[in-house]
Chains A and B, each alone.
Chain A
Amino acid sequence: MIEIEIDGKKFQVEPGKMIIEVADDAGIRIPRFCYHKKLSIAANCRMCLIEVEKAPKPLPACATPVSDGMVVHTHSARALDAQRSVMEFLLINHPLDCPICDQGGECELQDVAVGYGKDVSRYTEGKRSVKDKDIGSLVATDMTRCIHCTRCVRFGDEVLGVPQLGTIGRGGKTEIATYVEQSLDSVMSGNIIDLCPVGALTSKPFRFQARSWEMEQETNYSPHDCVGSNLHIQQRRQKVLRVAPKENEAINETWLSDRDRFSYLGLLHEDRLAEPLIKQNGEWKTVDWQFALNVAAEGIRKLIDAQGGQKIGAIISPNATTEEMYLLQKMMRALGSQNIDHRTRVTDVSDQKHIGAFPGMGFSIASIEEQSSILLIGSHVTHEQPIIGHRIRKAALQGSSIFAINLENYQFPFDLSDKLIVKPSALVWHLASVAKVLLTKQTNPDSELMAFLADLHVSEEANAFADKLMQFDKGCIFLGEIAQNHPQASAIRYFAELIGKMTNAQVGTLTTGANAAGAWLAGAVPHRSAAQKSVASPGLSAKQMFDAKLPAYLLFNIEPEYDCTHAQTAINALKDASLVVVMTPYVTEAIKEYADVILPIVPFTETSGTYVNVEGKWQHFSGTVKPFGEARPGWKVLRVLSNLLDLENFEFESSLDVLNTLKDSVDGILGGHHNALELPSKMNLPHEGLERITQWPIYRTDNLVRRAYALQENIVNTIPQIYVNNALAKKLACAEGDLIVVSQGQASVTLPLAINDALVDDGVYIPAGFQETATLNELFSPVTIVRS
């Protein structure tokens, strides 16, 4: 520790810190533009000049390390003089068009200019102007306002790891631009809006919507992935106009993914339903709540009288709040049904009783950075959970080795130490081979296991991969979307655990949706009720409910044609059911085809609730704006419906009431672990021939994102096409754009062919989450292709 003095106050600080860091910690404000605590130091704006005693000239506080006995003045005449001069230079070319600039009122340049600028400019020469660039659907540019702080450039280089913006030209002609006017194709590009200290980079969808001082903001949490990024939701007159990150070092730091930042655009989509609807004699009628709820309750009661409670199935979105999960499962169980699930995309649940309190991570998001090795299994982490992808990148930059076993060689913003790119049906096989190699290196390998794996032929690739894994020190293994949705997901979990045990790595599951952890804890699974109580005879999983063709379904906040595995089976089952009650914020023609009662509920901004993230952190929020029309928060709808059904113990006054009831019993439970998984019954040989690969593209994951126009128009959004690699296209004698028919059993789709050379040979990637691909059922299974 050394001692320095700033503005007359003494501080004990660690050597190596910059003066600006010490001042920031102490709340001493030094003006700055280029400095940002999450970026490297550029020291190019010179706004932070301060006086250091004994130094011959003013020094930049952001780039001057502290030294013992240093005496700093941030507001002395000399410092102020330097700061004023810099300000004058910075304003030479700045247009000073604050009245028509979106940044006005929240602009660092404006703020600092008020403090340091002169009221009259001495500069009479012409100002330069710079052509605006079109860099995509999310970020608007007014490059004449740029002061060349290069925060946006450094963000691309350092944080994203995909440099896209650069400084073009030199001196007075410098401009910030992308390579020959390209769109930003990152999933976190919106952060440059926050970083840009002036109005050069602003939010395109928010353009000219409001002034910052007209809006109020509430804290909320991201409803899209298991990270639980902290948000500020900004609204004016009950309309959400913008979403910004709320800093939380332990979760999202200062960042936000574009999905979290821009999904609000879907909140008031024209599909929003304002009043309940019921179908009478084939006609849709708008009715009041009382009537609609009575019809729903009546229908449910009749069905139970005739066929019994266990004939009803309920499927809830993994983005629903914990309170909603709790009430729906409580209601179902009170009605005599264990058929409740939130795992809309999962096929294989055979090992569910061995999963700990909830699938998640047994370690914190922040600690990902400290892992010395990380293995990704079936995970496109940067698209599934962009914030976790960023943490992994930070780990990689600090020297961790990252490995992947995937179906596609994704472009990650970090280098992989080794990878296995395999077909869906070979995924388990490869994991088992890797496990086998590791086993043989153990001093006392489990003989039962060795016998089970005896016939397994280990490829050279797998051998080399396993060798490198051996060097795992303090590591972790992540199971991604593909690993969880795979038809042999339980075998994948088994071998992941096994590999983890032998390499000293913890296994974490990066679950789909915002609240899978909450769902498990609240009992929105068929085999356990709230607080982990196992039920005597488990009900059906989401997929099993549709396979079973039940006579009645309750759907909560999902659109099965987009959200479910085996979408076609789901739709058919719903169409054949005699009662389908849909609780949804949005109504579509597709829903109207199978629903009997549609009850308008609200998205996350209009209700209070709680999400539990993948670390097991509970984050409670209250509603930011009033519900749209007559729509009501889901928890209220469920409570009133339960009351109408004469169920006991549903007298909750608020969502907090619900929460407290649950939380008392589950507080402190950590998830993430698997208990005594069982050896798969047998190892299937990988298929020969073509196989479908399925994922939910980042902007097709839930009903809100799918309605956010700027994300749908974004270059990152996947187009519904049939993706194969070059080699396969050649083999099929097809070119990009050719219409192709892919058949899977009885079903088929006809779509244009697109080339993605990162795909595994024989892999046919057909994204889910689209109307166009909903006619297919299996996510991973053999397919045949012919030219249309």
Chain B
Amino acid sequence: MTKNYIELLTDASQKNIDEWLARYPYEKRRSALLPALHVAQDQNGGYLTDNLLQAVADYIDVPKIYAYEAATFYSMFELKPVGRNKVYVCNSVCCMLRGSDDIIEQLKAKLNINLGETTPDGKITLKEVECLAACGGAPAMMVNKTYHENLTSEKIDEILQGLE
């Protein structure tokens, strides 16, 4: 018997996904995958599981491989447990020219973890990502859902301190 994965999505999540689904014609429902994966990820403490991918695919009624493709392609989806806060530093060309390498080094030293790792207290996950589309404010990083631009060493200390 096939398991009903859809039940893994909370009522609120389902409602939220419905709203996204309503924005696309039925044949283009695959487009709702991205927002739906975000909804599922948010519901699950910031990361997706295999079963959740299946749940989202089933809910939108697309082949599950589509959900798997999207979740592995985009760096904002996490497939392993993460810390309470996600710090995503951009390291694409503009940010790199404006010193993102230094920023990454500073973060690594401060948090005492490597890229892709989570602090032992489960507070912060640090990750390098591709262009955040904030080139005008390079160097930039995204903390949870907030953008921080024109980063400096002081700004970073301040941001880190503000995290729960």
A contact residues vs B (CB 8 Å cutoff): 162-170, 177-180, 726, 736, 755, 757
* Bound complex: CA A755 to CA B3 (Å): 12
* Contact (A736, B1) CB under 8 Å given A168-B69, A169-B72: yes
* Bound complex: CA A165 to CA B69 (Å): 9
In the complex, are the beta carbons of B63 and A169 less than 8 A apart? Answer: no
B 47-91 to A, binary, CB cutoff 8 A, 1 in contact else 0: 000100100000000011110110011110000000000000000
On chain A, the residues within 8 Å of B53 by CB distance are 179
B84 to chain A, nearest CB (A): 26
In the complex, are the beta carbons of A166 and B68 less than 8 A apart? Answer: yes
In the complex, are the beta carbons of B50 and A164 less than 8 A apart? Answer: no
Select from chain B the residue with minimum beta-carbon distance to A170: B73
* Bound complex: CA A284 to CA B2 (Å): 50
A555 to chain B, nearest CB (A): 41
Select from chain B the residue with minimum beta-carbon distance to A167: B69
In the complex, are the beta carbons of B73 and A163 less than 8 A apart? Answer: no
* Bound complex: CA A757 to CA B2 (Å): 9
* Bound complex: CA A179 to CA B57 (Å): 11
A644 to chain B, nearest CB (A): 59
On chain B, the residues within 8 Å of A167 by CB distance are 69, 73
Select from chain A the residue with minimum beta-carbon distance to B68: A179
Select from chain A the residue with minimum beta-carbon distance to B65: A166
B73 to chain A, nearest CB (A): 5
* Bound complex: CA A166 to CA B66 (Å): 7
Query: What are 24 A-B contacts with C-beta separation under 8 Å?
Result: A162-B63, A163-B63, A163-B65, A164-B63, A164-B65, A165-B65, A166-B65, A166-B66, A167-B69, A168-B68, A168-B69, A168-B72, A169-B73, A170-B72, A170-B73, A170-B74, A170-B75, A178-B65, A180-B50, A180-B68, A726-B1, A736-B1, A757-B1, A757-B2
B85 to chain A, nearest CB (A): 24
Main secondary structure of the interface of B (DSSP, over half): helix
* Bound complex: CA A177 to CA B65 (Å): 9
On chain A, the residues within 8 Å of B64 by CB distance are 179
A186 to chain B, nearest CB (A): 12
On chain B, the residues within 8 Å of A177 by CB distance are 68
* Bound complex: CA A177 to CA B53 (Å): 15
Select from chain A the residue with minimum beta-carbon distance to B73: A170
In the complex, are the beta carbons of B66 and A163 less than 8 A apart? Answer: yes
On chain B, the residues within 8 Å of A163 by CB distance are 63, 65-66
On chain A, the residues within 8 Å of B1 by CB distance are 726, 736, 755, 757
B98 to chain A, nearest CB (A): 22
Q: Which residue of A169, A179, A755, A757 is within 8 Å of B65 (Cβ)? A: A179
On chain A, the residues within 8 Å of B68 by CB distance are 166, 168, 177, 179-180
* Bound complex: CA A170 to CA B73 (Å): 5
* Bound complex: CA A177 to CA B72 (Å): 11
On chain A, the residues within 8 Å of B65 by CB distance are 163-166, 178-179
On chain A, the residues within 8 Å of B74 by CB distance are 170
B139 to chain A, nearest CB (A): 21
In the complex, are the beta carbons of B50 and A166 less than 8 A apart? Answer: no
Select from chain A the residue with minimum beta-carbon distance to B71: A168
* Bound complex: CA A165 to CA B66 (Å): 9
* Bound complex: CA A167 to CA B68 (Å): 9
* Bound complex: CA A169 to CA B77 (Å): 11
Closest 9 CB pairs of A and B: A166-B65, A166-B69, A163-B63, A168-B72, A179-B65, A755-B1, A179-B64, A169-B72, A170-B73
* Bound complex: CA A180 to CA B53 (Å): 10
Select from chain B the residue with minimum beta-carbon distance to A168: B72
A270 to chain B, nearest CB (A): 37
B28 to chain A, nearest CB (A): 15
A768 to chain B, nearest CB (A): 24
On chain B, the residues within 8 Å of A166 by CB distance are 65-66, 68-69
On chain B, the residues within 8 Å of A165 by CB distance are 65
On chain B, the residues within 8 Å of A757 by CB distance are 1-2
Select from chain B the residue with minimum beta-carbon distance to A726: B1
* Bound complex: CA A166 to CA B69 (Å): 6
* Bound complex: CA A736 to CA B50 (Å): 24
A531 to chain B, nearest CB (A): 50
A44 to chain B, nearest CB (A): 14
Q: Which of B63, B74, B75 has the most A CB atoms < 10 Å from its CB?
A: B63
Q: Which of A166, A180, A726, A755 has the most B CB atoms < 10 Å from its CB?
A: A166
B129 to chain A, nearest CB (A): 11
* Bound complex: CA A639 to CA B1 (Å): 54
Q: Which of A180, A726, A755, A757 has the most B CB atoms < 10 Å from its CB?
A: A180
On chain B, the residues within 8 Å of A168 by CB distance are 68-69, 72-73
B68 to chain A, nearest CB (A): 5
Q: Which of B86-124 contact A (CB under 8 A)?
A: none
B65 to chain A, nearest CB (A): 4
Select from chain B the residue with minimum beta-carbon distance to A175: B72
On chain B, the residues within 8 Å of A179 by CB distance are 53, 63-65, 68
* Bound complex: CA A736 to CA B1 (Å): 8
* Bound complex: CA A493 to CA B28 (Å): 40
* Bound complex: CA A436 to CA B63 (Å): 40
* Bound complex: CA A691 to CA B138 (Å): 71
* Bound complex: CA A453 to CA B41 (Å): 59
On chain B, the residues within 8 Å of A180 by CB distance are 50, 68
* Bound complex: CA A178 to CA B53 (Å): 13
A9 to chain B, nearest CB (A): 42
On chain A, the residues within 8 Å of B73 by CB distance are 167-170
Select from chain A the residue with minimum beta-carbon distance to B63: A163
Select from chain B the residue with minimum beta-carbon distance to A174: B73
On chain B, the residues within 8 Å of A162 by CB distance are 63
Q: Which of A164, A167, A170, A179 has the most B CB atoms < 10 Å from its CB?
A: A179
In addition to A726-B1, A757-B1, 12 A-B residue pairs with Cβ atoms within 8 Å of each other are A162-B63, A163-B63, A163-B66, A167-B69, A169-B73, A170-B72, A179-B53, A179-B64, A179-B65, A179-B68, A180-B68, A757-B2
* Bound complex: CA A168 to CA B63 (Å): 14
* Bound complex: CA A729 to CA B150 (Å): 64
* Bound complex: CA A166 to CA B2 (Å): 22
On chain A, the residues within 8 Å of B69 by CB distance are 166-168
A523 to chain B, nearest CB (A): 49
* Bound complex: CA A757 to CA B66 (Å): 24
A98 to chain B, nearest CB (A): 30
On chain B, the residues within 8 Å of A170 by CB distance are 72-75
Select from chain B the residue with minimum beta-carbon distance to A729: B1
Select from chain A the residue with minimum beta-carbon distance to B1: A755
A735 to chain B, nearest CB (A): 9
On chain A, the residues within 8 Å of B63 by CB distance are 162-164, 179
Q: Which of B1, B50, B65, B69 has the most A CB atoms < 10 Å from its CB?
A: B65
* Bound complex: CA A169 to CA B64 (Å): 15
Select from chain B the residue with minimum beta-carbon distance to A164: B65
* Bound complex: CA A163 to CA B63 (Å): 6
B59 to chain A, nearest CB (A): 16
* Bound complex: CA A569 to CA B68 (Å): 52
A167 to chain B, nearest CB (A): 6
A150 to chain B, nearest CB (A): 11
* Bound complex: CA A178 to CA B73 (Å): 14
* Bound complex: CA A228 to CA B10 (Å): 51
* Bound complex: CA A165 to CA B64 (Å): 10
Q: Which of B1-45 contact A (CB under 8 A)?
A: 1-2
* Bound complex: CA A169 to CA B68 (Å): 9
* Bound complex: CA A179 to CA B66 (Å): 9
Select from chain B the residue with minimum beta-carbon distance to A178: B65
